[in-house]
Chains A and B, each alone.
Chain A
Amino acid sequence: MLKIADKTFSSRLFTGTGKFSSSALMEEALVASGSELVTVALKRVDVRNNEQDDLLIRLKYPHINLLPNTSGVRNAKEAIFAAQLAREALETNWIKLEIHPDPKYLMPDPIETLKATEELAKLGFVVLPYIHADPVLCKRLEDAGTAAVMPLGSPIGSNKGLKTIDFLEIIIAQSNVPVIIDAGIGSPSDAARALEIGADAVLVNTAIAVSGNPIRMATAFKIAVEAGRIAFEAKLASPVSHAVASSPLTSFLDA
């Protein structure tokens, strides 16, 4: 079981709600994924009338926790306001902090993210920040009171997989909070790999929503994440560059 703040999750696959061809398909795919934490862009939700919001209605399952995100904000001030709005409208103090002043590549702003995390943690939020795969920033965020870190595997929406793997391994090695690989995961094998190296969870959206069959792909991701976690727990055999015989030539010496 994965524990983040006060919640436990049996699925280590977190999902997003964007880019699906219909709300109905999104709902079916997310159910197939088994995901228990689903992020939803505040900018897509009718916060003034959220009881009627089509997106939110589709996510009303007892096992699904909503994770509102601040996608679209450009600095800490806007992010804090958006988080407060989300808390009010969606009755959750969980927030996926996304601050990207750059609308082209959606690169997260590390300075504003750290500032907002400090403030939001003080205000009682469970903060999950989307960040670059920066090991030092992750430690600084821990000090600021983050509930988890969400480093990117490669540029968001790129489906390029774990291009930042060297840094992700450092982050995982030294983190005291859960590490969720957030962006760039393009295939179930990428997700499995992330779990194999010790990531606590992955967040996948584009790779499912834009696939030929989102429901089948969500199922594939579900299985891949489970396989990756089992492999991690079973402790992968280390790769070696020289031959190691399964029956060593010198074993007779121990007899």
Chain B
Amino acid sequence: MHSFNDIFETYNWDEVKASIYAKTGADVEKALSATKRTLEDFKALVSPAAAPYLEQMAQLSQQLTLKRFGKVIQMYVPLYLSNECSNICTYCGFSYDNKVRRKTLSPMEIMQEVAVIKAMGYEHVLLVTGEDNVTVHVEYFKKVLELIRPHFAHISMEVQPMDLEDYAQLTPYGLNTVLVYQETYHREDYKKHHPKGKKSNFKYRLETPDRLGQAGIHKMGLGVLIGLEDWRTDCFFTALHLHYLEKKYWQSKYSLSFPRLRPFSGGLEPKVEMNDRELVQLICAYRLFNEEVELSISTRESPHFRNNIIKLGITSISAGSKTNPGGYAVEPESLEQFEISDERSPADIAKVISQQGYEPVWKDWDNCLT
């Protein structure tokens, strides 16, 4: 089967990185004035040469986002179902070698969590698990979807990559969106960060969005974990991946996230630090490259940053998040995947959004439509 891997293999990480860092002010100006921006333009926009043009990029990003999405911000919240995991990931609290108590929510516990999330006003939920095929497998997901589908208008999932047949089985149960982050597109570093478990198979993960597209998943989310490798190069590969997928699976919608590595139990120091200015540059670069993609910001970021990013190009935001199974109601002290930076309630965030002249939108999809 033809997949993104075929395209990916024609690229060399070091050459791509060098070409990004070789971009000049003239390249950035060309990218800014283009009506349709190419992957080369994207390289210029994420390059160090674009730093002096940040305000121009932000203005343009705001305009393009307003035109396509208007003055609305989607609200979503994660629901962590399990912290069991058979992978070793050097940066994640759920890593197999992190010797802490593990938990997978039972149906009754899930409903206790759902009650709290619904009381916050949410209609969009993101189901999250570790990657343990023994406890959290396709049959478990079917049961969970069956259980919670009547309570939510839109259900997303961020779990282990699965086979095409599994995704096709889950769609009728109400699965709308699947998020699968590549973590890093640097093949060798990927191996270093994922030494054990099914996740160590770089190619299987890389080809997951292809399987999602073939299964007809309504929306898919891409991204890298910022901090593992050179973020400019990693994000170029994300843009390349998006570009490929949009052309091939033209009936799917796409979203991008830009999680920065956060502290967790057992912690890894980021190899690469990305400051706030650089994250704004990245968000704007994505928007200038792709006017239609949804851009999402999580509670990993600080309240100050999140307050100010609303107008710059993002389209969805989480709030009140707990990153541990049972965190909302059942077992608030269980193992978190990472520490959040913004602990404000959904109501507080909705207020911040409204004060900036935007509308927080709690429902923007309905399972009955698909």
Contacts and interface: CB of A to CB of B under 8 A. Distances in A.
Interface of A: 18-23, 42-47, 70, 72-74, 78, 81-82, 85, 101-105, 157-159, 206, 209-210
A21 B359 contact: yes
Contacts of B364: 43-44
A53 B69 CA distance: 21
B10 interface: no
B67 A20 contact: no
Contacts of B370: 72-74, 78
Contact of A43 (B67, B292, B365): B365
A105 B66 CA distance: 16
A103 B251 contact: yes
A103 B253 contact: yes
A210 B67 CA distance: 7
Contacts of B70: 18-21, 206, 209-210
B358 A42 contact: no
Given A42-B366, A70-B369, A78-B370, A210 B66 contact: yes
B292 A23 contact: no
A105 B251 CA distance: 11
A19 B246 CA distance: 24
B123 to A, nearest CB: 8
Contacts of A20: 70-72, 359
A85 B359 CA distance: 26
A74 B251 contact: yes
A250 B125 CA distance: 80
Interface string B272-294: 00000000000000000000100
A72 B71 contact: no
B359 A23 contact: yes
B363 A22 contact: no
Interface residues of B, number: 27
Contacts of A85: 368
A103 B358 CA distance: 23
B334 interface: no
A21 B71 contact: yes
A40 to B, nearest CB: 12
B107 interface: no
Binding site of A, secondary structure by majority: helix, strand, loop or mixed? loop
Given A21-B359, A78-B370, A81-B368, A157 B68 contact: yes
B252 A103 contact: yes
A78 B369 contact: yes
Interface in B284-336: 292
B369 A21 contact: no
A210 B68 CA distance: 9
Binding site of B, secondary structure by majority: helix, strand, loop or mixed? loop
B369 A73 contact: yes
Contacts of B153: 43
Given A43-B364, A103-B253, A104-B250, A19 B369 contact: no
13 contacts: A18-B72, A19-B70, A20-B71, A21-B357, A21-B358, A42-B369, A47-B368, A72-B366, A73-B370, A82-B368, A103-B251, A159-B67, A210-B70
Contacts of B369: 42-43, 70, 72-73, 78, 81-82
B246 A104 contact: yes
Which 7 residue pairs spanning A and B have beta carbons closest together?
A19-B70, A21-B71, A103-B253, A21-B357, A101-B251, A43-B366, A104-B292
B69 A46 contact: no
Nearest to B65: A210
Interface in B90-130: 123
A241 B278 CA distance: 57
Nearest to B123: A46
Contact of B67 (A18, A23, A72, A157): A157
Nearest to B292: A104
B345 interface: no
A162 B241 CA distance: 34
A250 to B, nearest CB: 52
Interface string B347-370: 000000010011101011110111
A22 B366 contact: no
Given A43-B369, A70-B369, A157-B67, 9 more contacts: A21-B357, A43-B364, A43-B366, A44-B364, A101-B250, A102-B251, A103-B251, A104-B250, A206-B70
Contact of B250 (A22, A81, A102): A102
Contacts of B66: 210
A157 B72 CA distance: 15
Most A-side CB within 10 Å, residue of B67, B354, B364: B67
Contacts of A210: 66-67, 70-71
B359 A103 contact: no
Contacts of B246: 104
A153 to B, nearest CB: 15
Contact of A22 (B68, B253, B359, B368): B359
A209 B71 contact: yes
Most B-side CB within 10 Å, residue of A21, A23, A45, A209: A21
Contact of A47 (B361, B365, B366): B366
B69 A19 contact: yes
B63 to A, nearest CB: 9
Interface in B157-214: none
B147 to A, nearest CB: 17
A206 B251 contact: no
A101 B249 CA distance: 11
B354 A22 contact: yes
